[in-house]
Chains A and B, each alone.
Chain A
Amino acid sequence: MGRLNEHPAIKKAIALVLSYVIVQMLISTNIISDYLQVTLATICINIILAVSLNLITGITGQFSLGHAGFMSIGAYMCALIVLRMPTIPGFLLGVFAGAAAAALVGCVVGLPTLRLRGDYLAIATLGMAEIIRVIFLNLEITNGAAGLSGIPKFVNWFWLFVFTAGTILVISNFIRSSHGRACISVREDEIAADAMGINTTKYKVMAFTFGAFCAGIAGALYATSFYFIEPGLFGFMKSIDVLVIVVLGGLGSISGSVLAAVLLAVISTLLQSFPEIRMVLYALLLIIIMLFRPQGLMGSKEISLNVFGKLGDLFASRKRRV
């Protein structure tokens, strides 16, 4: 087991394959019922949203309250394509077109607004998301307030897994590359980062665009999982929902976002039977966490797979002593 420590890539690959297979088996044997599968889809979509928002807000320090806007672009783009091309290639085209459209908007919106400071940026992104929502509410092709229905369902556990694991991997690889470090320096001290040769605007826009791309994927997955989308689904409350997951998990911690997404979905399901009280408790939870543990579950640390390595070391060293 000690040798596995030298090949983190292999450890990761094993963990990934295992998690896919286990869940797939649970689904096939109906231990995870249809109802739970809906929850599973919600969790995965929220993970993608949270991880991408974490990239923008937790890693690069740009406060974005408009993430749902990017999600909606991905959802509508994908829905419109898939309604006309209800095949797997159509689905894939829809996902990537949705993500690309979201990324484009992210870039265009980001360029002028990312020079704003903290709170101002937050409101600007909020305004942007609302403008997008109003546009979708009034376009003929998106069917306005009635939304788009009858969207063929393509998303199953396989696609959820591919896109969720893919997003997590790509974003964590980015963070631990030099470009990711540049983004972190933007968060830490923009003036110092500039003085060290980092084009802070470029990296802010890069993080924003990348985050929007992933949110677009999430939106596309949403559309092709739940048959129906309308502008109201992607309003301010959705952006807040994602932000809560990110903050709960810890700004800057990818594994935190994953954990928090799961946790909040579980809590939400548990409180399902008490709809009126649910939101009140949710709000109280938010306030209490901010007051008593603002760094969230993980702070800005990550769960490392080294945990398994250390366990392995334990066995290995015992063996050697004998």
Chain B
Amino acid sequence: MERLLQQVVNGISLGSIYALIALGYTMVYGIIKLINFAHCDVYMIGAYVGYFCMSYFRLGLLPSLLIAMVVCMLLGVAIEKIAYRPLRNAARITVLITAIGVSLFLEYGTMFFVKAETRTYPPLTGWLARIFRIGNVVISMQQIVLVGITVILMVLLQFIVKKTKTGKAMRAVSIDQDAAELMGINVDTTISFTFALGSALAGAAGVLVGIYYNSINPLMGMVPGIKAFIAAVFGGIGIIPGAMIGGYFIGMVEVFVSGYGNSMFRDAVVYAILILILIVKPAGLLGKNVREKV
């Protein structure tokens, strides 16, 4: 029983990471129907920025987090402007390949500058290093911080999307770009804003992962990226609450398969979930099937 609870705690922690990354995928797909392959590398850059802030500049957790989020925000907006905007009306496969190119560029560019070895985040001190025990269940302060920050960010995101004018613009553009433009919405700015939000969340996830798992490397984005994307698809790609639900679901599945089953097959199970959902309900848990009008 306590083992189960421990897995749940771990699952929620991992799920938070996936949820944060998945949100970026889902928002970008929702608004321009692009699978942003470079998104997981923005997450990786966030982790590195956090690393440099905390190691070299000796900044605390919160400042590092904020700086990483801002840097990633700018990076995401830059990528959109340089690589995706010119291809707004091009064939889907063209943009997808460009996204893959950007992803490779970020990965190997980072490798070129900071070398490929794994770096370790400096260990947390003080109140951040505390550990709580409830019976045999261990909950670290890191996990609480992780989940706490994730929840705060998700609440903020929901607020922005539901209650602000920009959020409304985002929703409008994702439903019908041309109509939104005709209604006076600046589509370019709205799309940039979407990228900014998603990338900021990814940056936060990067720093949080650095704190939680400690080690980072230039290729760290690939596998979590795919899983976060699967999470977004599971919840319903393009639907924000779906990404949150999907993230926690995949996090739980992974932890439970690892814990109770064979950790070798852990990844395969997640991919199998992907195939399953695409066959059974491609629109995802919260999605609706939109038919092409003939």
* Count, A-B residue pairs, CB within 8 A: 115
Are A279 and B33 neighbours in the complex by a CB distance under 8 Å? Answer: no
Say whether A124 contacts B105, CB under 8 Å. no
Interface flag for A260 (CB, 8 Å)? no
The size class of the interface chain A forms with chain B is 35 or more
B104 touches A113 (CB 8 A): no
- Roughly how many angstroms separate A172 CA and B93 CA in the complex, as a whole number? 23
Residues of B within 8 A of A137 (CB): 264
Given A280-B112, A286-B97, A291-B87, the answer on whether A131 and B105 have CB atoms closer than 8 Å is no
**In contact, A127 and B105 (Cβ under 8 angstroms):** no
> How would residues 264 to 303 of chain A score, 1 for a CB under 8 Å from any chain B CB and 0 otherwise?
0000000000001101101111110011001000000000
Residue B100 interfacial (CB < 8 Å): yes
Question: In the complex, are the beta carbons of B98 and A191 less than 8 A apart?
Answer: no
- Answer yes or no: B58 CB below 8 A from chain A CBs: no
- For B29, the chain A residues whose CB sits under 8 A away are 119
Q: Is the CB of B265 within 8 A of A134?
A: yes
Q: Are B101 and A284 in contact (CB under 8 A)?
A: yes
Q: A286: which of B104, B112, B222, B278 is its contact (CB, 8 Å)?
A: B104
Given contacts A191-B294, A247-B93, contact A123 B101 (CB under 8 A): no
Residues of A within 8 A of B292 (CB): 191
- Name the distance in Å between A219's Cβ and chain B's nearest Cβ: 20
Mark contacts of B22-52 with chain A using CB atoms, 8 A cut-off: 1 yes-contact digit, 0 otherwise: 0000000100010100000000000000000
Q: If the complex has contacts A284-B101, A290-B101, are A112 and B279 also in contact, measured as CB distance less than 8 A?
A: yes
- A: residues with CB less than 8 A from B are 57, 63, 112-113, 116-120, 122-124, 126-128, 130-131, 134-135, 137-138, 191, 236, 240, 243-244, 247, 251, 276-277, 279-280, 282-287, 290-291, 294
Name B residues whose Cβ lies closer than 8 Å to a Cβ of A.
29, 33, 35, 83, 86-87, 90-98, 100-105, 107-109, 111-112, 222, 226, 229-230, 233, 264-265, 267-268, 271-272, 274-275, 278-279, 282, 292, 294
- Top 9 nearest A-B pairs (CB, nearest first) are A286-B101, A283-B104, A283-B105, A279-B108, A287-B101, A134-B268, A290-B98, A127-B271, A294-B94
